[in-house]
């Protein structure tokens, strides 16, 4: 089957709109950002222990959604409008990020801190996954930008040249790349395998979570994932439980986690994502049924709100933490940084600051984008 005739695929010929899963995806984004906040707001405890995986949950969700946009367009038109995709992506990411970077540089100047030109250029050109930037959390944005640019470009070239889509080879490619990343990570980690801890952020070593999302996106549009979600729920429950077990048993930074464990955790999140997609009808009923102001409804609404602002919250959460520390509020209230009360206050302030900046920048820009780049 050629790319130009992709719409003739019998299993994917009907038009698919991922917005039908809006509630479940918002809730999963909320879970991801809450995990991240727990990791960076507390110095110990279960929330801190598990929190590092929030970034990988973001990777799986993002891989599924962004690849779904590309697969959906290929399925509907047999083509990929690369310029439109990159423009929409840029308007989603760059305005909020560069405002955050500008405020960060202003804060550095006001506090007489020193940053190098390399750190600034790393942030400006999204090289944080390979070069140290000003902040320790922006590397994940770099991983996503590298991945989606290469993927969109490759798919656009493939579609434009009318190459055939060989299903068997496509699945070999989709399933083979995460295994290649495990081999690369083993090669990176093995010289240090006796060390207690080691971390890495390089795109070619950390993109398997995104790639698992791409696998789900392909299976959703061109495969049988929608049928599997309905009839093989036990499979996704098993994946989720297995991934959670590995997440709990192996510490972040250990040799096991940094080689094969990270992929297994992402597979668990892929299972959670599929379970969430299958629960959309139930969630929609809880949200819109005439059941008054029930506790369940309030939780769903609150988590949706957090999920819709998760990008801005992620950008600003370490800024919020540093601002609280700079203002000396922990000392004034008798709390030490890392204690439970200080951690909770940091989480709350991060949510407030992130949602405020989302309303100030991200949401207005997205409204303009959706109007002009529909």
Q: What tens digit of pLDDT does each residue of 125-180 get?
A: 999 999 999 999 999 999 999 999 999 999 999 888 876 667 788 888 888 999 99
Candidates 86, 82, 62, 69; CA nearest to 144 is: 62
pLDDT at position 285, please? 80
Q: Tokens representing 21?
A: 């899963």
| pLDDT at residue 365, rounded to an integer | 96
Locate 372 and state its tokens: 């002009």
Is the pLDDT reported for residue 10 higher than 50?
A: no
Percent of the chain surpassing pLDDT 70: 87
Q: Whole-prediction pTM value?
A: 0.91
Residues in the chain: 374
Instruction: Give me the pLDDT at residue 210, please.
Output: 96
The confidence score (pLDDT) of residue 9 equals 46
Residues paired with residue 2 on neighbouring β-strands, in sequence order: 164
Task: Determine whether 293 is exposed, middle or buried from the number of CB atoms within 10 Å of its CB (0-12, 13-18, 19+).
Answer: exposed
Q: What is the mean pLDDT of the chain?
A: 87
Per residue in 124-133, pLDDT (tens digit) is: 999 999 999 9
Whole-Å CA distances, 125 to 138, 142, 230, 350: 12, 9, 43, 25
Residue 349 has pLDDT above 90, yes or no: yes
What DSSP line would sit under 96-141, residue for residue?
HHHHHHHHHHHHHHHTT----HHHHHHHHTT-TTTS--SSSSTHHH
pLDDT digits (tens, 9 = 90+) for 33-77: 999 999 998 888 888 899 999 999 999 999 999 999 999 898 888
The DSSP annotation for 323-349 comes to HHHHHTHHHHTTPPTTSHHHHHHHHHH
Which residues are CB-neighbours of 121 under 8 A, at least 6 positions away? 127, 131
Closest CA to 16 of 277, 325, 310, 198: 277
- 195-248 confidence digits (pLDDT tens): 544 567 899 999 999 999 999 999 998 888 989 998 999 999 999 999 999 999
Distance CA 204, CA 200 (A): 10
**CA triple 83-87-90, angle to 5 deg:** 140
């Amino acid at each position: 089957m050629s790319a130009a005739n992709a719409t003739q695929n019998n299993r994917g010929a009907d038009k698919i709109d991922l917005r039908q899963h809006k509630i479940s995806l918002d809730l999963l984004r909320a879970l991801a950002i809450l995990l991240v906040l727990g990791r960076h707001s507390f110095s110990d405890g279960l929330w801190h222990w598990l929190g590092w995986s929030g970034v990988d949950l973001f990777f799986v969700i993002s891989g599924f959604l962004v690849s779904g946009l590309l697969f959906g367009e290929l399925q509907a038109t047999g083509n990929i409008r690369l310029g439109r995709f990159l423009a929409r992506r840029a308007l989603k990411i760059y305005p909020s990020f560069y405002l955050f970077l500008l405020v960060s540089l202003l804060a550095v100047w006001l506090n007489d801190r020193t940053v190098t030109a390399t750190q600034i250029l790393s942030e400006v050109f999204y090289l944080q996954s390979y070069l140290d930037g000003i902040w320790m959390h922006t590397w994940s944005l770099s991983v996503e930008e590298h991945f989606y640019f290469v993927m969109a470009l490759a798919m656009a070239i493939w579609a434009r040249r009318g190459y055939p889509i060989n299903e068997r080879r496509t699945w070999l490619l989709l399933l083979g790349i995460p295994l290649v990343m495990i081999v690369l990570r083993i090669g990176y980690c093995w010289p240090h395998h006796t060390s207690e801890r080691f971390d890495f952020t390089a795109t070619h070593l950390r993109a398997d979570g995104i790639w698992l999302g791409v696998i789900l996106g392909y299976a959703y549009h061109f495969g049988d994932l929608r049928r599997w979600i309905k009839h093989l729920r036990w499979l996704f429950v098993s994946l989720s439980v297995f991934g959670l077990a590995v997440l709990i048993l192996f510490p972040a930074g250990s040799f096991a986690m940094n080689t094969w464990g990270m992929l297994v955790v992402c597979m668990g999140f892929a299972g959670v994502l599929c379970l969430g997609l299958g629960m959309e009808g139930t969630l929609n009923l809880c949200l819109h049924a005439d059941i008054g102001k029930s506790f369940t409804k309030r939780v769903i609404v609150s988590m949706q709100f957090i999920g819709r602002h998760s990008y801005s919250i992620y950008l600003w959460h370490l800024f919020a933490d540093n601002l609280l520390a700079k203002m000396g509020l922990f000392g004034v209230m008798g709390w030490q940084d890392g204690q439970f009360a200080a951690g909770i206050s940091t989480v709350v302030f991060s949510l407030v600051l992130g949602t405020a900046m989302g309303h100030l920048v991200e949401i207005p820009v997205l409204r303009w984008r959706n109007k002009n780049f529909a």
